[in-house]
């Protein structure tokens, strides 16, 4: 029986992989375009729950909406909103996850709080948004162990345990079976604390004892929660931090970006759920990089970059810029920038990017940890205006996906070639989440809606692959112009600060 089940699973994966590779993807549904329900602000959080039966979305309106497929509908992917949770958060929701084997939903937000909501059973019939849940009745835990905005959650195969990461530089493990009062300083110590802001956290189901964190640094850091005993790891330069060890760093080759005096920043990370050793890091104002935890450190195993970029575009290094209007661009581009300025979530904050490194870069406590170089770089998307997540797609994580400031979804094959470009948002795509079993994924960003994409047997209406070269060229050009404007603006601010006899401050709101 076990062998037969394994063969069936492999055959199913091969079938799905074939559909991913051979059929065109198109937009098959838009969630929240009904005036009676849906989000009223940017959608920052997406996650599939209960093995893909439910889709959770959260955003600037501080609600979590639960979408479930309607079995009575004849549409292909008829997901409708079944419940709306008024979470009680005081700021933007950045992540929402349902804890396995439970009906608890954990949320994190810009108010620094971690909240857990008991939502009970989610019906699959009746009118849309038939259940409006108030935090007064659903919130079972309100934790403020973090000292700053909390950005991501990772769950384990447990209804009680999960990890969170915050801009206070800490990763914390929460156990709902134990009680503590944050008001009296009784919070358990964090798993780790770094001396710079963190905003992304990723782990893999096959190796839950390992996780990757990244943020205001040029590296991603792999930690292992298994205590190695003695101080052998520290003797090798792997500094101990509580009950965790940093065993690898992941960085770029010199000349890949960030060596022009600008501030380094990694906006997203993702460990492969299929093989547990592959890792994606999305660099602000640069591309997406693929790593493997199995690779030997300091081995220059990076393959050639995508051939869609010209040699000049590949070698150019547009510096980071966030939500900067480009007055020399076309009217449509100006409208896009205005929309970002007015409606983008707080996750797309501006930074003072040009302070001298010694003024803002703390000493790297893990400088002695071996560094792994990337296997591949994926280029073409523009990651400047807001904080972009990154993800694998496909039944065997065959594809890499990222949003872009141009409103498109970029999908690459593992060899770096561009597989497709899909229009996913009127302004900016930030989040992409693939269904755990179906050839289906959800995407969201500045718009108040969630878009669903699936393979179709007819030509794709929302594919922009025929305009790939012009889209990539426009992304590179706008990134360069934004960099010039940001340097001019920042230099003016620096002169004003010197005139006022003040040290320039990082404007990270």
pLDDT tens-place string over residues 177-228 = 998 888 877 888 999 999 999 999 999 999 989 999 999 999 999 999 886 5
Q: 375-391 burial, b if ≥16 CB within 10 A, otherwise e?
A: bbbbbbbbbbbbbbbbb
Q: Is residue 495 part of a domain?
A: yes
Domain residues for the domain of 383 are 2-31+191-499
Average pLDDT over residues 294-313: 54
pLDDT reported for residue 36: 72
Measured distance CA(13)–CA(17) in Å, rounded: 6
Share of the chain above pLDDT 90, in %: 58
User: How many C-beta neighbours within 10 Å does residue 196 have?
Assistant: 15
Q: Is residue 181 part of a domain?
A: no
Least confident of 14-18, 77-81, 293-297, 420-424: 14-18
- Per-residue pLDDT for 296 more than 90? yes
Cβ-contact 427, 336 below 8 angstroms? yes
- Residue 480 pLDDT grade (very low, low, confident, very high; cuts 50, 70, 90): confident
Q: Is residue 311 part of a domain?
A: yes
pLDDT reported for residue 140: 94
Q: Which residue has the higher pLDDT, 450 or 300?
A: 450
Q: Is residue 106 part of a domain?
A: no
pLDDT reported for residue 146: 96
pLDDT reported for residue 270: 98
CATH code for the domain in which residue 420 is found: 2.130.10
Domain total for the chain? Answer: 1
Q: Is residue 377 part of a domain?
A: yes
Q: Is residue 416 part of a domain?
A: yes
Considering the entire predicted model, what is its pTM?
Answer: 0.81
pLDDT reported for residue 263: 66
The residues near 466 (Cβ < 8 Å, ≥ 6 apart) are none
- Per-residue pLDDT for 331 more than 50? no
- Per-residue pLDDT for 230 more than 80? no
Question: Residue 41's closest CA among 62, 17, 18, 21?
Answer: 62
- Residue 329 pLDDT grade (very low, low, confident, very high; cuts 50, 70, 90): very low
pLDDT reported for residue 1: 53
Q: Is residue 400 part of a domain?
A: yes
């Amino acid at each position: 029986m076990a062998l037969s089940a394994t063969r069936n699973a492999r055959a199913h994966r091969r079938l799905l992989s074939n559909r991913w590779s051979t059929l065109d993807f198109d937009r098959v549904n838009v969630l929240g375009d009904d005036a009676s329900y849906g989000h009223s602000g940017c959608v920052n959080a997406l996650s599939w729950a209960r093995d893909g039966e439910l889709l959770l979305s959260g955003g600037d309106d501080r609600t979590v909406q639960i979408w479930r497929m309607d079995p009575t509908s004849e549409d292909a992917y008829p997901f409708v909103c079944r419940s709306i949770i008024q979470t009680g958060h005081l700021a933007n929701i950045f992540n929402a996850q349902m804890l396995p084997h439970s009906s608890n939903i954990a949320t994190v937000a810009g108010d620094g709080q971690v909240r857990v909501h008991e939502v009970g059973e989610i019906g699959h019939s009746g009118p849309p948004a038939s259940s409006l849940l108030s935090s007064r009745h659903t919130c079972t835990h309100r934790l403020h162990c973090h000292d700053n905005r909390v950005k991501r959650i990772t769950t384990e195969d447990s209804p009680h345990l999960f990890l969170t990461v915050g801009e206070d530089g800490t990763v914390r493990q929460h156990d709902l079976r134990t009680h503590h009062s944050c008001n009296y300083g009784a919070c358990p110590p964090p798993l780790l604390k770094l001396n710079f802001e963190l905003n992304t956290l990723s782990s893999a189901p096959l190796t839950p004892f390992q996780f990757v964190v990244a943020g205001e640094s040029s590296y991603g850091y792999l930690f292992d929660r298994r205590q190695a005993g003695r101080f052998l790891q520290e003797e090798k330069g792997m500094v101990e931090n509580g009950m965790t060890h940093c065993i690898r760093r992941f960085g770029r080759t010199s000349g890949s970006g960030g060596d022009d005096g600008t501030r380094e920043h990694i906006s997203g990370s993702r460990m492969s759920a299929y093989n547990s050793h592959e890792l994606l890091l999305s660099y602000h104002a640069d591309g997406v990089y693929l790593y493997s935890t199995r690779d030997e450190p300091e081995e220059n195993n990076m393959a050639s970059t995508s051939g869609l970029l010209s040699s000049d575009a590949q070698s150019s290094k547009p510096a980071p810029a966030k939500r900067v209007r480009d007055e020399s661009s076309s009217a449509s581009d100006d409208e896009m920038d205005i929309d970002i300025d007015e409606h983008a979530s707080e996750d797309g904050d501006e930074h003072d990017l040009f302070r001298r490194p010694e003024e803002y870069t703390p000493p790297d406590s893990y400088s002695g940890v071996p560094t792994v170089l990337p296997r591949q770089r994926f280029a073409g998307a523009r990651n400047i205006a807001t904080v972009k997540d990154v993800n694998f797609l496909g039944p065997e994580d065959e594809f890499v996906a990222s949003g872009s400031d141009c409103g498109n979804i970029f999908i690459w094959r593992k060899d770096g070639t561009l597989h497709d470009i899909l229009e996913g948002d009127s302004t900016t795509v930030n989040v992409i989440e693939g269904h755990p079993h179906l050839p289906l994924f959800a995407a969201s960003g500045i718009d108040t809606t969630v878009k669903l994409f699936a393979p179709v047997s007819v030509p794709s209406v929302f594919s922009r692959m025929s305009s790939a070269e012009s889209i990539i060229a426009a992304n590179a050009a706008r990134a360069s112009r934004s960099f010039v404007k940001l340097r001019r603006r920042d230099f003016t601010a620096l002169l004003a600060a010197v005139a006022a006899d003040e040290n320039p401050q990082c404007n990270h709101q």
